[in-house]
Structure 1
Amino acid sequence: MRGGTHVRAVTDATFDLAAGECLALVGESGCGKSVLASALLGLLPENAETAGSALIPAADTADTGDTADTADRVDLLTADERTLARTVRGRRVGLVPQSPAAHLTPVRTVRSQLEEVLRELAGVRRPHLRAAAEAAAERAAFPAGHLDRYPHELSGGLAQRAATALALIGDAPLLLADEPTTGLDRDLVDRTVDELRRHVGDDRALLLITHDLSAAERIADRVAVMYAGRIVELTDAAAFFGAPGPRHPYARGLLNALPEREFTPVPGMPPELSALPDGCAFAARCDRADEACRALPALTDGTACHHPHVDVLEAPRA
């Protein structure tokens, strides 16, 4: 709610995420991606309201493979703060935050924060903490020579890597990585997302929230495209980045804006979330829009569009 007005930051965001899978949630800044991540961890402002459900297996049933009984799962949207703090955050769901400086304790060194998390989540005992902290730092490409520095002494890229190292320690079944490559050069982007991908296993999954389509193409199994608070396309990564390509005009525009593609920006600007139209929110920017777009399209066959593309989008030649 903003100034007494309800703002629908995320609406009808429906998807599943299986163990062993990486789902990339992509879209322009302000489309609701980070709000969704905050909702899943109970980190929204006090005046925020949530509806629906977000289910993860409870700790004692995570390895059974039985997801039919909702009694064996935790609903992240309705769980109380005690449950989220003691059994979910860091243990069931790890977070690489979009703003790492706000999540690092300012009066403690990176080393001491890593050691604390190693004690709490990994059960590492004191004689082994120093070596374990250095190993955790190396996993996120954080230089050992900076471990005894405080957060305010770090660059944005180093703070991002410190936050990534902290998030990876617990090997949580679900890892939320919210813009984990901010402030990193291309080599470190590739190294970071590769390490996040290595987190994925038989009992672990990754939700990668990013505007970096190259990073998503590198590690994602599926892609969800968000626009104006709604998921407008959900498809396999191979089909999205290769052939037949995105079906939603906005998703196709995002891909064609890449330098290695057509390098053509999506025209116009997204609508304010406080003033969304009744119909398709992308219609004002879309050259395929007509009267049918006055009605809100449902997500059908992975695409929320009245006039989806059906032709083949050629991938760039090597």
Structure 2
Amino acid sequence: MRGGRHVAAVTDASFDLRPGECLVLVGESGCGKSVLASALLGLLPGNAETTGQAFVDGLDLLAADERTLARTVRGRRIGLVPQSPSAHLTPVRTVRAQLEETVRELTGTRRPGLRAAAETAAERAAFPADHLDRYPHQLSGGLAQRAATALALVGDAPLLLADEPTTGLDRDLVDRTVDELRRHADADGRALLMITHDLAAAERIADRVAVMYAGRIVELADATAFFGTPGPRHPYARGLLDALPERAFTPIPGMPPELGDLPAGCAFAARCTDATSACEAVPAVTDGVACHHPRQREAADA
């Protein structure tokens, strides 16, 4: 609900996530990526409504009650690197205290091994040991991000949701963070769903790429084909890559629509150079693409 009316923040978001796989979800701000992650963990506001199904190990997350989500899902089946880490860290406890508590709750570790386990978790996320006894307000944005990542990695959950896990990090730390997340996904058949605006990080880590626009996944593709040849098939996905400085450096014209005021038909049509009268109808998803005129890069440039 927004302003007394219903807003469909996410629709037709259908995908699977395989053991050992990293699926990266990309798209402009406000398209519904974080809403999708929050829905999976039951972290949406109380006035939000969800429909559909989302299964992890046979449990339908969207039908599960708060007790089940709190005791058996969050941190144990699904770890979360939140988008705003400072808002998720306890302000009156040091990073070390929060790590030790999380280690104890999720792994059962007790003293004397608790301190070492917390320091190992911090090291995995490149969080400096000499900052462990600081409080969240004493951390920079990048350090808060690394603290949140360390907390998410503690339980070695089968599924990790990482919402903008590289925000505030320099390039070397971005690479180190995504490499650690990749190792998490590779170990024992775990999986990773990463939300990011950083397409370089996405290319480094992804097995598959999901592109979201106006609350809908409009393309789901193999990462090698998406970033290489033949490239993405949806015009919005092509536009995202063309906007990169190392590529065409051509921004997508216009602005995305408000989720509460979506146009009839294809939501991208007003910004799309390929649009025709067919785009007055909502495109069905066919072979992983929701577009009336999907095409590869070679065809577009021929």
- TM-score norm. by structure 2 comes to 0.97
Tell me the CA shift for residue 313 of structure 1: 8.1
Partner of 1:23: 23
Which of 237, 241, 246 is the matching residue for 1:251?
237
Counting only pairs closer than 5 Å after superposition, residues 23-42 of structure 1 correspond to structure 2 as 23-42=23-42
Counterparts of 1:219-258 in structure 2, within 5 Å, are: 219-258=205-244
Cα distance in 1, alignment partners of residues 166 and 284 from structure 2: 32
State yes or no: 1:111 paired with 2:96: yes
1:106 deviates by 0.5
Deviations 1:58-112 (A, max 9, x none): xxxxxxxxxxxxxxx1111110000000000000000000000111001000000
C-alpha distance in 2 between matches for 1:12 and 1:138: 39
Deviation at 1:2, TM superposition (A): 0.5
Contact 1:248-1:308 within 8 A present in 2 as well: yes
Matched, 1:281 2:240: no
Please identify runs of 4+ aligned residues in structure 1 that moved more than 6 A.
none
Matched, 1:102 2:94: no
- Does the CA contact (< 8 Å) of 1:242 and 1:313 recur in 2? no
- For the aligned residue pairs, the C-alpha RMSD in angstroms reads 1.0
SS at match of 1:206: strand
What is the aligned counterpart of 2:140 among 155, 158, 164? 155
Report the residue type matching 1:267 in the other structure. Answer: P
Change (3 A) 1:45 1:256: same
SS at match of 1:312: helix
**1:131 and 2:128 aligned:** no
User: 1:67 aligns to what?
Assistant: none
Task: Give the CA deviation at 1:311.
Answer: 4.1
CA distance in 2, matches of 1:17, 1:299: 18
**SS at structure 2 position matched to 1:34:** helix
- SS across alignment from 1:98: coil
- Corresponding position: 1:4 with 2:4: yes
Contact 1:245/1:313 (<8 A) preserved:
no
- The amino acid that maps onto 1:12 is D
Aligned partners of 1:264, 1:147: CA distance in 2, in Å? 43
User: 8 Å contact 2:232–2:297 — kept in the other structure?
Assistant: no
TM-score of the two chains, using structure 1 as the length reference: 0.93
Letter in 2 for 1:28: E
Q: Distance in 1 between matches of 2:40 and 2:128?
A: 31
1-structure distance, mates of 2:243, 2:41: 32
In structure 2, relative to structure 1, the CA distance for the partners of 1:313 and 1:40 (3 Å cut) is farther
Corresponding residue for 2:65?
80
Deviation at 1:129, TM superposition (A): 1.4
> Mind listing any 5+ residue stretches in structure 1 that lack a counterpart?
58-72
Q: Distance in 2 between matches of 1:206 and 1:52?
A: 21
Task: Provide the C-alpha distance between the structure 2 equivalents of 1:215 and 1:253, rounded to a whole number of angstroms.
Answer: 18
Deviation at 1:163, TM superposition (A): 0.2
Measure how far apart 1:32 and its partner are. Answer: 0.3
Show the counterpart of 1:54.
Answer: 54
Letter in 2 for 1:272: E
Give, as a single letter, the amino acid of the residue that structure 1 aligns with 2:260. S
- Aligned-residue sequence identity (percent) comes to 82
Tell me how far apart the structure 2 counterparts of residues 91 and 247 of structure 1 sit (CA, whole Å).
Answer: 37
1:133-160 Cα shifts (integer Å, max 9, x gaps): 1111110000000000000110000000
In 2, Cα distance between equivalents of 1:202 and 1:154 = 33
User: For this pair of structures, how many residues does the alignment match?
Assistant: 299
8 Å Cα contact 2:90/2:136 also seen in 1:
yes
